Each structure stands twice: as structure tokens, then as C-alpha cells.
Amino acid sequence: MLALGGAIGCSGTPSLNVFVPTTITDADADAAYEAWKTGFLEDCGGGLWRVRWSQADLTVSEGIAYGMLLTVIHDERTIFDGLWQYYKNNRDDRGLMHWQRMGCEGAPSGDNAATDADLDAAMALVMASRRWSTTPYLADADTLIRAIQTYETATGTDGISLLRPGDAFGPCLNVSYFSPGYYRVFADVVPDQADLWNKLADDTYTLIGRAAHGTTGLVPNWCDENGATRPAGPFGCANYTNADLYGSDAARTPWRIATDYVWFSTPEAHTWLNKVTSWVKTVGITNVVSSYSLDGTPVGTSHNIVVVGAFADGAMAYDQATADEFTAEAVALPPPTSYFQTNLRALYLLLPLGRFTPQGGQ
């Protein structure tokens, strides 16, 4: 049992225990990264790089941002710079990358921004500024963080701070985009906005509490600010399939909340993660499937890294035996070949090794 959390731009937070898995090695994470590079990274020439989507001629901002996180942590600055250049080449008039573009040239395909990608890209720039100690990354992070604050946050009807899912979205929320650990770092990077980012971080847990099932802790793919959901999505933002399930969107939530816990020892993160982990233990980590009704009724059938890896990261808040067991299952899964699973596997395996840090893995 090691204490890894706390002290990164945070004060006054009780010290909580992080249980570091003993069932994973750096070689596991490095192999996942190399598989990602081989399967989805493309050198466009002239210093430009992109990440191929599941439809190989397309690139999405999510993939670019995942790639920026991975390459800074794995200390590949040339590729990082090329991915950031692709992001910059394909920004909208608000300074945020369009969510989908075609090929290396970035021909128009899907306009407007996706907030999770912008958050990950901003966090990767902060990591780069700390790992490689150069001012341009920090200045770029500052600019992007301010654009996110301006165009991708809002105030709810009761004064609660909300993270919009994009810069052109209606009144709906994607809980798996919530990144309170990032917000606390952004408060340190952009001190004149510190109160705004810290409130967004704190209000994250109020929103999760509204959306989560009282017994399982599971959250829906999409909901409104009161936690209400339905299969097509909340009213006013209803264009989805299975929005009311804990599915491939929501499945990332334990990873994002575990990041806040590991970095800042956030008590509310500890509470929610342990509720979810307690439920997973009743199912068995080797038995979890790709989607569930919020009450824990299985809907999907696939047992894959998207759910297993996030639950493994979340188990770092629970106890040593569970952290070891869940992480062992994540490592033991056959290497995936699909875009989403390959990207997330490479990211999920970094947190339990202490390599997913605000310093970019140093």
C-alpha cells in the first residue's frame, strides 16, 4: 500500500490510501503503447501526425488527444508535436478542434468540438510543459483551458457548474467526460480562473450523485443536470442509442475519477469508486460485460478492456487484494485490435504504474 495522491496544486485534502497493484509491469504498458502506435498512429509527413479512427480514413479529436497523452508520457516529443499540430490545423473559430476530420489533410467531416478531447489535449499540454520544460506548451495550455472554460462549461439552473459535452451542444451531460483531477491542475495553471475550475471539480461529485444508481453506483452514458436519462438521451439532447445504460461512454468514468483520487486523494472520489468496486466484486471482475442497466442487470455480452481496465483503475481506492485482482484481469485480456479498446488499454495501464501524472510520467 503506497500513498501516491495529493500535493499537485491541492491543499487541505485528507490523505487517503492508494493501493498500487503488484500485478502489472512497465513492460505491460509499453507493449500496449507499441500496439497502439502500430495499429493507429500515422506519420503524415512534414512533422504532422494523426491517429486513425475505427474508419481508417477519418480522425477524431478524441484520438488526437489520447495520442497526445500517450506520447508525452512515453517521452516521444516529435510525435506529440505532430499530433498537436494536427489539432491546431483543424480548430474551429473558438480555438477547439472539430470532432472529426478526414485523413492527413483534415478535410471537413464532422464539425464542432468534443469536450473530452479538448480536456485531454489541454492536460497533455500541461504535462508536456512540465516534462520538457518549455514555455510554448504552457502558453498553448493556457489558451486552450480558457477556451474550454468559455465555450464548454455552463451554469445549471440551481447554480451548479456544468461541463458541456461540446461547444455546440444542448442541455445534456456525458459523465465520462468529467475530469475533476484535470480541473484541479487547470486551477493551478490558470490561477485567475482557479475558483471556476475548483467549483467545477467539486460540483462533479454532486452531479455524479444525482446520476448514479443508489446501490451499484453506475452512471448512464448521457443524462441531464438532474441525473435524468432515457434510452434516446435526456430531453433537449436526444440523439443517442442506449443513453440510459452504463455502456461504452460511461465505462470510462472510473478511470477519470480514479485519476482525481490518485492525484489529489479526493474523498468524494474515494466514496464513489468504492461503491462501484463493491458492486463489481459481487459480479466478479472476470465476469463483467460491456454494458449494464444502472441497477446492474447485464445488457451487453463482451468482456473487454473498456470496462475491465476502468474498474481496475477504480479498485486502487479499495484494497490491495482487489487492486491486484482487477489489474491482473486487465493485463491478462488479449490485446485488442479495435480503435477504442486499443487507445483505452494503453491509457488505463499507465495510472496503476504511477506514470499517468500531471508531470507527464516523470
Active site residues: 62, 116
| 318/39 Cα distance (integer angstroms) | 34
Nine-digit cell string for 9: 496544486
Q: Are strands 107-110 and 153-155 parallel, antiparallel or unpaired?
A: unpaired
86 neighbors 48 (Cβ within 8 angstroms): yes
Q: Is 47 helix (H, G, I), strand (E, B) or coil?
A: coil
Cα torsion at 335, 338, 339, 341 (round to 10°)?
Answer: -50
Within 10 angstroms of residue 297's Cβ, the number of other Cβ atoms is 9
The H or E element spanning position 59 is strand 58-60
| 193, HSE (Cβ side, Cα atoms, 13 Å) | 20
The C-alpha atoms of residue 66 and residue 251 are separated, in whole angstroms, by 16
Candidates 260, 114, 111, 81; CA nearest to 180 is: 260
The three three-digit cell numbers of residue 182, written as one number: 484535470
Q: How many other β-carbons are positioned within 10 Å of the β-carbon of residue 27?
A: 8
**CA geometry: angle 46, 52, 54, nearest 5 deg:** 170
CA 139 to chain centre: 22
What DSSP state is assigned to residue 161? E
- H helical segments located in 171-296: 180-189, 194-211, 253-264, 267-283
Decide: 253 and 201 in contact? Cβ < 8 Å.
Answer: no
> In this structure, are residues 9 and 188 in contact, taking their beta carbons and an 8 Å threshold?
yes
